[in-house]
Amino acid sequence: MAKKHDDKDERVKKREQIYRGKSLEELKTLDVRESAKYLNSASRRSVLRQFNSIEEFIKLCEEKTERKKKIKTHLRDLVIVPRLVGYNIGVHNGKNFENIEISVEMIGHRLGEFALTRSKVNHGSAGIGATKSSKAQKK
């Protein structure tokens, strides 16, 4: 009985990554402009307009991984294409670089969507003199 459950878990782990009917390996072999056909319309237009900068960024990523250096970028408006899947990229959020692991689900989105620029604010308690009731305690 336990063997059936283990076999099912192994199949789930080995599941092939698919994006819009194509496997990830097939998409990675395509050129940036050819892979744009599988994106939604807004992302497709953006990729077709700035494919040169995307290809330059991919070259930079490949060079940095060969030298075993971190990939850091300020390009928050760069559309994620299939060839970027698997890279760990540091995206600038205005203060520091947030490391993002690119996965199949991120294809077609922009890098900036995953590096949030605003953090949650935790307010402390009010100081002495901040409210009328705290002034009353002062006397």
pLDDT digits (tens, 9 = 90+) for 36-90: 888 899 999 999 999 999 999 999 999 999 999 999 999 999 999 999 999 999 9
Q: According to the 3-state scheme, what is the secondary structure of 94-106?
A: CCCEEEEECCHHH
On the CB side of 136, CA atoms within 13 Å amount to 3
CA atoms of 112 and 72, how far apart (whole Å): 13
The topology (CATH level 3) of 13-118 is 30s Ribosomal Protein S19; Chain A (3.30.860)
Average pLDDT over every residue of 10-36 = 77
Contact between residue 114 and residue 80 where contact means Cβ atoms under 8 Å apart: no
Q: Which long-range contacts link 71-75 to residues 24+ away (Cβ below 8 Å)?
A: 72/97, 73/111, 75/111
| Token couple for 50 | 């700035």
> What is the band of 130 on the pLDDT scale with cuts at 50, 70, 90?
confident
The whole-number pLDDT of residue 109 equals: 94
Examine the pLDDT at 133 and tell me if it is beyond 80.
no
3-state secondary structure of 40: coil
- pTM of whole model > 0.85? no
H helices present in the chain, as ranges:
2-13, 24-29, 32-35, 41-49, 51-66, 132-138
55-61 long-range Cβ contacts below 8 angstroms, 24+ apart: 58/32, 58/83, 58/84, 61/87, 61/89
Q: Is 22 left (phi over 0), alpha (psi -120 to 50) or beta?
A: beta
